[in-house]
């Protein structure tokens, strides 16, 4: 019964949204494993890897690597260009767990590199651009929108007076699930 109630509640909310002319926006965050199946290591072309995706606020990057062999530094653009993980420009964040999770919380460019000697120069660096979540386009006001449909005719009264009460109890039962 739980799935049925969930389906009914979702359908009811969708219909309510449509009838109120409110936009329905579903945003699903994605978890990206940097470098794909290879992970954060030598070999993957991180530029080519990143160009296949459209990153948005709320997405997550996961840097998988052998702990101790690599690390992940989030750095400024200048540090990224110079492969400087802290010699002259301090990093913004340092990760070294081997399973580093980075939440993309703002629309901006993000810069990452491995700070083990020679790794950044060997290609272990990543630059991505994160876009804001898509916002719904408002309905234009003016004469171009069609008039609303006429109201539905009233339903005939039920022969059993307690049907509304039964539906009300059922609805609250679903809502409690």
Instruction: Assess contact for 29 and 62: CB atoms under 8 A.
Output: no
Q: What is the pTM of this model?
A: 0.63
* Per-residue pLDDT, 3: 47
* Per-residue pLDDT, 28: 79
Where do we find the tokens 């790794």?
A: 119
Dist CA 97 CA 33 (whole Å): 15
Distances from the Cα of 5 to the Cαs of 28, 30, 164, 172, 175, in angstroms? 23, 27, 17, 10, 8
Where do we find the tokens 């804001």?
A: 132
| pLDDT tens digits in sequence order for the chain, 177 residues long | 454 455 555 566 556 566 556 555 556 789 999 999 999 999 999 999 999 999 999 999 999 999 999 999 999 999 999 999 888 999 999 999 999 999 999 999 999 999 999 999 999 999 999 999 876 555 555 556 566 666 666 655 554 455 454 445 544 445 555
Rg (CA), the chain: 26
* Per-residue pLDDT, 133: 87
Cβ atoms within 10 Å of 125's Cβ, excluding its own = 21
Cβ atoms within 10 Å of 63's Cβ, excluding its own = 25
* Per-residue pLDDT, 170: 46
In the chain the domains, ranked by start, together with CATH numbers, are: 35-131 (2.60.40.420)
Where do we find the tokens 């081997």?
A: 98
């Amino acid at each position: 019964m739980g799935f049925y109630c969930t389906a009914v509640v979702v359908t009811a909310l969708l219909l309510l949204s449509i009838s109120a002319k409110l936009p329905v926006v579903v945003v699903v965050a994605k978890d990206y494993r940097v470098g794909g199946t290879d992970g954060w290591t030598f070999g993957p072309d991180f530029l080519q890897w990143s160009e296949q995706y459209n990153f948005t606020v709320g997405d997550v990057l996961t840097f998988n690597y052998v702990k101790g062999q690599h690390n992940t530094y989030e750095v400024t653009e200048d540090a990224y260009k110079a492969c400087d993980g802290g010699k002259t420009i301090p990093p913004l964040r340092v990760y070294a767990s081997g399973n580093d999770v980075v939440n993309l919380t703002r629309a901006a460019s993000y810069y990452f590199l491995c700070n083990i000697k020679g790794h950044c120069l060997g290609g272990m660096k990543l630059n991505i651009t994160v876009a804001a979540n898509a916002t719904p386009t408002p309905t234009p006001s003016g004469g171009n929108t069609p008039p609303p449909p006429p109201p539905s005719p009233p339903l005939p009264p039920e022969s059993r007076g307690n049907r509304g009460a039964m539906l009300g109890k059922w609805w609250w039962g679903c809502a409690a699930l």
